[in-house]
Amino acid sequence: MLQLIINEWRQLIRSKNFLILVSFCSALLILTVFLGIEELRIQSTKRDSAQTSVRAQWENMGPSNPHGAAHLGTYAFKPSSILNAIEPGVESVVGRVLRLEGHVQNETVHSADSQAIMRSRFGVLKPALILQLIIPVLLIFLSFNAVNSEKEEGRLKLLLLQGLKARQLLFGKIFSYWLIGTLLLLITFLSFFLFFDLIETADFLIRASLLFTAYALYYFVIIGFTVLFSSYFKNNTASLTIMLALWILWSVFIPKITAETAEISNPLPSRQAMKTTMKEDRAKGIDGHNPNDERKKQLKDSVLNAYQVDKLEDLPINYDGLVMQADEEYGNKVWDKHFGDLHNLMNQQKKLYQWSGIINPFQSLKNLSMGFSGTDNFHHLEFQKESEVYRRVFIKKLNDEHAYGGSKTGDWGWKAEQEFFNSIKDFQYETPSFLKMKDFYLTDIILLTLWVLVTLLCTYALAPKLKVT
């Protein structure tokens, strides 16, 4: 079989069309990797500059009222994943900056698409787009007559008479063309290592290795089915047409149908409807039986009883800080309820996307490509969660300083010293390791692996039925 692979490659190398196509795809991949890395560097520079500026503003604002500082707030900046240069995922759509302030939980803003009209209309060319759509078509066109050409030129009967088994022939053809796909993958990742000189973490190497493997497995499925069709159909046109139709179903129609089905089965509330409902729950109580006025009265009575005084003015602390923190904590409950429900709906939609991999290996590849790159919705929600955890600690420190820092109730002119504000650490976020996130992708990994096994079993089972004419 090894000799068959060597002979196949000799024939391919002699073809000028093959060399032109592979050279063009290689150059395109290298160019897009370079441009993606340059874009990543620009984004990282802007993020670092903005983060430094925001922190400097915080550390130089001078003595201030803690409540005013809570309204001023701070910002959480999401770092770009290193592999964003290859797979953008949802990164260009969901935004990277989140304002953290009192009384409200904001949405992420400043997505790349929102900053560029032409980009949002036509998208951006990244290696993932080429690897997912263009390279598979190239492999299909290279291998659709892999077996039929042997039949037409009379070599197939000769090879079988010389002792080559049908299974060896089919697997030899599959591996010959699969090596083309892996070669293009190697060019992509080697150029990434060549242009990007800041790779220091083991997590990146794990993610990059898994990303390479996912694409390699998908290419094996594509080539395996193409070669099988070439061996089954006598007409080259038939094998090419059917494989292209299958590729279009996998890459275009099934993902679209899956997305619409997921939206219908688990519809997400509109942004305005969710904001309105959250505002009502915060004012009237989550269950409708604990309105804001009643909560304030209960808090006031409990504080007066705790300090054994009759009036707020007699408290040794600032009651206003307690009120603001109580309001924050109730708002957190409202946020947890509504965003918890929203995240559950999104997870249900995502599960449907993942299970569609049973009939569509491309969907599993797409999910894994974004997941391994750290650019999918799971990673974005992780950033939102960590930002919200920091926001709650951040605001509580400010409210506690307002309540217990030395001021009295109603003293809104009181100011905390700059040293207190400097003691509050800035928000720092790092993309979670893949090992922490791995459970989210087990379904996709299993299904893509099953597609490879199905390809191997079909090739093994159908090989004896190979006809020489």
Q: Which residue has the tokens 């197939």?
A: 156
246 or 90: which carries more pLDDT confidence? 246
Q: Which amino acid is at 65?
A: N
Q: What is the pLDDT of residue 399?
A: 94
Angle between helices 202-232 and 236-248 (to 10 degrees): 140
Predicted confidence (pLDDT) per residue in 58-91, tens digit: 999 999 999 999 999 999 999 888 898 899 988 8
Instruction: Report the alpha-carbon distance of residue 148 to residue 181 in Å, rounded.
Output: 21
Instruction: Report the alpha-carbon distance of residue 395 to residue 463 in Å, rounded.
Output: 68
Q: What is the pLDDT of residue 64?
A: 94
Predicted confidence (pLDDT) per residue in 300-330, tens digit: 999 999 999 988 988 999 999 999 999 899 9
In b/e form, how buried is each residue of 324-344, taking b as 16+ CB within 10 angstroms?
bbbbbebbbebbeebbeeeee
Strand partners, 104: 101
pLDDT band for 118, please (50, 70, 90 cuts): very low
What order of strands is seen across the sheet that includes strand 97-101?
A: 74-77, 97-101, 104-105
> Would you say residue 120 has pLDDT above 70?
no
Predicted confidence (pLDDT) per residue in 287-298, tens digit: 655 677 888 888
Averaged pLDDT, 140-153: 80
2 or 376: which carries more pLDDT confidence? 376
Strand partners, 77: 97
- What percentage of the chain carries pLDDT values higher than 70? 91
Looking at the whole model, is its pTM more than 0.85? yes
* Cβ atoms 51, 70 nearer than 8 A: no
Among 279, 269, 303, residue whose Cα is nearest residue 103: 279
> Would you say residue 155 has pLDDT above 90?
no
Total length of the chain: 469
- The DSSP result for 402-424, as a single string, is HHHSS--TT-TT--B-HHHHHTS
**Helix or strand holding residue 369 (H, E):** helix 361-373
Averaged pLDDT, 441-458: 96
Instruction: Report the alpha-carbon distance of residue 345 to residue 268 in Å, rounded.
Output: 7
Predicted confidence (pLDDT) per residue in 427-437, tens digit: 999 889 999 99
- Number of neighbouring beta carbons within 10 Å of residue 268: 14
Ranges 104-108, 227-231, 464-468, most confident = 227-231
Q: ∠ CA 114-117-119 to the nearest 5 degrees?
A: 85
- Number of neighbouring beta carbons within 10 Å of residue 444: 25
SS3 label, residue 98: strand
| CB contact set of 351 (below 8 Å; sequence gap of 6+) | 443
**Helix or strand holding residue 115 (H, E):** none
SS3 label, residue 107: coil
Instruction: Give Cα separations from 29 to 48, 189, 243, 374 (angstroms).
Output: 28, 9, 24, 20
- Find the largest Cα–Cα distance for the chain: 105
What residue spans define the domains of the chain? 1-469
467 or 27: which carries more pLDDT confidence? 27
Q: Which residue has the tokens 């720092």?
A: 428
SS3 label, residue 427: coil
